[in-house]
């Protein structure tokens, strides 16, 4: 696989291993949860002059998506901002963000692997880690077209 693939090519390749209805449903639920859990865990890594690692990572992710596709980038930036706002709210309200994020992260990944077992295909990121970024974009694109 080439890192020069367009976002459309990546989304099509990702879709090819996500055809089974059960696997799709699992991904529609679990991929956004996993994305949020990573944002939440990075949020808790405080760094000077920037607030936290989640903000730095969000900017870097934005550059990745912008380099691939403007529309997908805008959708992913909005989704990322929503995840950041949810995490900030939860932290301010005193929720045990780390505990919630870790539990959801583990449970969601278990379901992801169950979905791929049902699908009969390995997760795309086994072929290329870039698909860990394509998965959330695929979900967002499925929702917003």
Query: What integer pLDDT is reported at residue 3 of this predicted model?
Result: 62
For the stretch 31-53, pLDDT in tens is 999 999 999 999 999 999 999 99
- The alpha carbon of 18 is separated from its chain's Cα centroid by a whole number of angstroms, namely 15
Query: What integer pLDDT is reported at residue 1 of this predicted model?
Result: 46
The span from the first CA to the last CA of the chain, in angstroms, equals 25
DSSP H helices, 69-96, are 70-92
- Assess contact for 107 and 117: CB atoms under 8 A: no
Sign of CA dihedral 118, 76, 129, 39: negative
- Give Cα separations from 29 to 23, 53, 70, 114, 115 (angstroms): 10, 25, 25, 13, 11
Query: In the block, which residue shows the tokens 């917003």?
Result: 144
Query: What integer pLDDT is reported at residue 144 of this predicted model?
Result: 83
* Number of CB atoms found within 10 A of residue 11's CB: 20
Query: What integer pLDDT is reported at residue 137 of this predicted model?
Result: 96
For the stretch 71-102, pLDDT in tens is 999 999 999 999 999 999 999 999 999 999 99
Residue 57 has pLDDT above 80, yes or no: yes
* Number of CB atoms found within 10 A of residue 144's CB: 12
Q: What is the pTM of this model?
A: 0.94
For the stretch 116-130, pLDDT in tens is 999 999 999 999 999
- Reference 136, options 53, 58, 21; nearest CA is 58
């Amino acid at each position: 696989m080439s890192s020069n693939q367009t976002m459309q090519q990546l989304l099509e390749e990702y879709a090819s291993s996500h055809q089974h209805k059960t696997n799709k449903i699992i991904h529609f639920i679990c991929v956004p949860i996993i994305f949020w859990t990573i944002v939440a865990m990075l949020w808790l890594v405080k760094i000077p002059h920037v607030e936290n690692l989640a903000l730095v990572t969000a900017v870097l992710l934005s550059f990745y998506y912008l380099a691939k596709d403007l529309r997908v980038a805008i959708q992913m930036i909005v989704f990322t901002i929503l995840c950041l706002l949810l995490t900030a709210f939860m932290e301010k309200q005193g929720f045990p963000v780390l505990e919630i994020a870790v539990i959801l992260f583990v449970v969601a990944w278990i379901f992801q692997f169950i979905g791929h077992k049902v699908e009969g295909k390995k997760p795309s990121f086994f072929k290329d880690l870039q698909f860990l970024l394509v998965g959330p974009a695929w979900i967002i694109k499925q929702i917003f077209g």
